[in-house]
Amino acid sequence: MSLEISPPKKLYETFHADCFLWLEQREANSIHAVVTDPPYGLKEYTSIEKEKLRQKRGGVWRIPPSFDGCMRSPLPRFTVLTKEDKSALQRFFSQWATKIFRVLVPGGHIFLAATPLLSHLIYQALEEAGFEKRSEIIRLVQTLRGGDRPKNAHEEFPDVSVMPRSCWEPWGLFRKPCEGRVQDNLRKWKTGGLRRISEGQPFCDVIKSAPTRSIERGIAPHPSLKPQAFMRQVVRAALPLGEGIVLDPFMGGGSTVAAACAVGYQSIGIESDQEYYQMATQAIPRLAELSLDESNNLVSPLFSQREASQQPRLF
């Protein structure tokens, strides 16, 4: 009797590609969850704006000042988007959502990092493509967005902020409709629900977080790198039975794929920028092996802060 042994499945694959083209080639119903942080201004990841960022010339990137001894990470300025930019953003997400809909299995979830200024536009595009909005995950994180006094009139209006200081980041949670009941869908496609934190604790829609630690930014100096402490919680929840493939079509420095490796899930990452793609391929195993304690704090970095600060930086 011959026993067929199938080769072990790769835990992750990465592609240097435009995700729109990649999605067109991908088999239908072959991805079980999408966890991603897309480019929002569309402008901020164009060659011109990336060059300005790398040259520290600003452009759409707001280069924040250094204070209390720390250099803050640059942030893209979404308030500079025109009406035309916003229409282009909606078109981009409509096309993207249609392509994602085809490759995702019924009941598959999308976790989509957003910004309070633009989330309504993106969410509408996803609903129009056929996805159901299931919730919004609130990542509690103190950022440097908002809270400033009027520019060049600080002294005249000392008690005024132009916008609130942002203390949270929305993550839209969407699902491709299930085939039948959730239990039927779970049996057939392994999707439809979210993985519980434990038997007694469901996944919750508010997650305390912190800005990405310097040790992680040292490993992957991408301007939008998300922290492992947060990403592992979200990625883990995305596969209710822990089976299937998680896709990040806008991989950046690789935080989603690294989080999937850390929780033992199969994943795929796609990145169109050559430099970020190279960065992610080197960073993923190193981010994945960082240890977190029960409260999801980094505990035992396997290399020192000094080593992290010696990693090449874009800015």
Ligand X SMILES: C[S@@+](CC[C@H](N)C(=O)[O-])C[C@H]1O[C@@H](n2cnc3c(N)ncnc32)[C@H](O)[C@@H]1O
**Nearest residue to 189 (alpha-carbon basis) of 108, 295, 269:** 108
Q: Determine which residue in the list 118, 225, 284, 288 makes contact with ligand X, applying CB under 6 A.
A: 225
Q: Determine which residue in the list 43, 271, 301, 308 makes contact with ligand X, applying CB under 6 A.
A: 271
Strand partners, 92: none
Per rule CB under 6 A, is residue 78 in the interface with ligand X?
Answer: no
Per rule CB under 6 A, is residue 276 in the interface with ligand X?
Answer: yes
Give 73's contacts (C-beta < 8 A, 6+ positions apart). Answer: 64, 211, 212, 217, 223, 315
| Residue closer to ligand X, measured from CB, 44 or 107 | 44
Q: Where are the alpha helices (DSSP H) in the chain?
A: 19-25, 47-54, 83-103, 119-128, 182-189, 214-219, 228-238, 255-263, 274-288, 305-309
Instruction: State the minimum distance, in angstroms, from the CB of residue 74 to ligand X.
Output: 12
**Nearest residue to 118 (alpha-carbon basis) of 10, 61, 40:** 40
Decide: 280 and 216 in contact? Cβ < 8 Å.
Answer: no
Per rule CB under 6 A, is residue 20 in the interface with ligand X?
Answer: yes
Per rule CB under 6 A, is residue 171 in the interface with ligand X?
Answer: no
| Residue closer to ligand X, measured from CB, 119 or 185 | 119
Per rule CB under 6 A, is residue 31 in the interface with ligand X?
Answer: no
Per rule CB under 6 A, is residue 136 in the interface with ligand X?
Answer: no
Per rule CB under 6 A, is residue 41 in the interface with ligand X?
Answer: no
**Residue 169 φ then ψ, to 5°:** -130, 125
- Torsion sign, CA atoms 37, 43, 46, 47: negative
Per rule CB under 6 A, is residue 18 in the interface with ligand X?
Answer: yes
**Residue 256 φ then ψ, to 5°:** -70, -45
Per rule CB under 6 A, is residue 255 in the interface with ligand X?
Answer: yes
Instruction: State the minimum distance, in angstroms, from the CB of residue 192 to ligand X.
Output: 25
Integer Cα distance of 224 and 255 in angstroms: 10
Integer Cα distance of 225 and 231 in angstroms: 10
Nearest residue to ligand X, scored by beta-carbon proximity: 252
Per rule CB under 6 A, is residue 93 in the interface with ligand X?
Answer: no
Sort 154 into a burial class: Cβ within 10 Å, 0-12 / 13-18 / 19+.
Answer: exposed
| Residue closer to ligand X, measured from CB, 169 or 271 | 271
Q: Determine which residue in the list 26, 52, 222, 232 makes contact with ligand X, applying CB under 6 A.
A: 222
| Other CB atoms within 10 A of residue 3 CB | 4
Instruction: State the minimum distance, in angstroms, from the CB of residue 105 to ligand X.
Output: 21
Instruction: State the minimum distance, in angstroms, from the CB of residue 270 to ligand X.
Output: 5
Q: Determine which residue in the list 12, 45, 101, 203 makes contact with ligand X, applying CB under 6 A.
A: 45
Per rule CB under 6 A, is residue 39 in the interface with ligand X?
Answer: yes
Query: What residue ranges bind ligand X (CB under 6 A)?
Result: 18-20, 37, 39, 45, 222, 224-226, 249-250, 252-253, 255, 270-273, 276
